[in-house]
Every structure is written in C-alpha cells, then in structure tokens.
Structure 1
Amino acid sequence: MTYQDVSQFAQTYGLIYLFLLFIGMVIYAVWPGNKKRFKDASEIPLRED
C-alpha cells in the first residue's frame, strides 16, 4: 500500500463516514421523541432561578 492508496481510501471512506454521521445527527435532532428534551433545553436561558 502506497501513500496514494491510503490517502484515497481515507478521503473516500472518511467522506462517507462523516456524511452518515451528519445524517444521523439530523435524524436525532428532528426525531419526534426528542421534541420535549430540546424544548426544555431551549428554555434554560430564560428561566429565573
């Protein structure tokens, strides 16, 4: 394996890995079951302690 082979592998599969990670985070953020958690977190700065 040359440097070029390793570089090509890292570029290709690194891009796929990061894309899938991004899609997973977007799905997590818009999942209906997480709505209450994110709504509560968005109100934290407005709470009076």
Structure 2
Amino acid sequence: MMSYETMRHFADSWGLLYLFAIFLAVGAFMLRPGARESARQAALIPLRNDERGDM
C-alpha cells in the first residue's frame, strides 16, 4: 500500500506533467487551421436569440 507521502510525490510530479500535456493539447487544438470559425460561433452562443423561451 502506498503512503500519503508517496502518493503526494507522485501527484506533484506526474500530475503536473499530465496537466501540462492537457494544456498543450488544448492549445494545439485551438490553434489548428479552421478553428477560428468554430471558436467564433461558440463565442456567439450567449448572444443568440432563441425563440424557445425555456431556461
């Protein structure tokens, strides 16, 4: 069984690398060619005037 200190050391080192890899993947996804239009449409979602009226 792993001790708390061992688990914390694992999370401090590999967890940081894991989150950094996710950050790089999201950055690459947003900077890919063709992402501008989908990002623009996503930014306009709150401004849409939907006629449904349900919130």
TM-score normalised by the chain length of structure 1: 0.70
Q: Tell me the CA shift for residue 11 of structure 1.
A: 0.9
Larger radius of gyration: 2
| Aligned residue number for residue 34 of structure 1 | 35
User: What TM-score do you get using the length of structure 2 for normalisation?
Assistant: 0.64
- Given the alignment of the two structures, is residue 10 of structure 1 paired with residue 34 of structure 2, yes or no? no
Q: CA RMSD in A?
A: 1.9
Q: Give a deviation string over 1:13-36, Cα, whole Å, max 9, x none.
A: 110111001111111111112122
- Greater CA drift, 36-45 or 13-22: 36-45
Deviation of 1:40 after TM superposition, in Å, equals 2.9
How many angstroms apart in 1 are the aligned matches of 2:16 and 2:5?
16
Q: Which amino acid aligns with 2:37?
A: K
CA distance in 2, matches of 1:48, 1:4: 53
How many residue pairs were aligned? Answer: 48
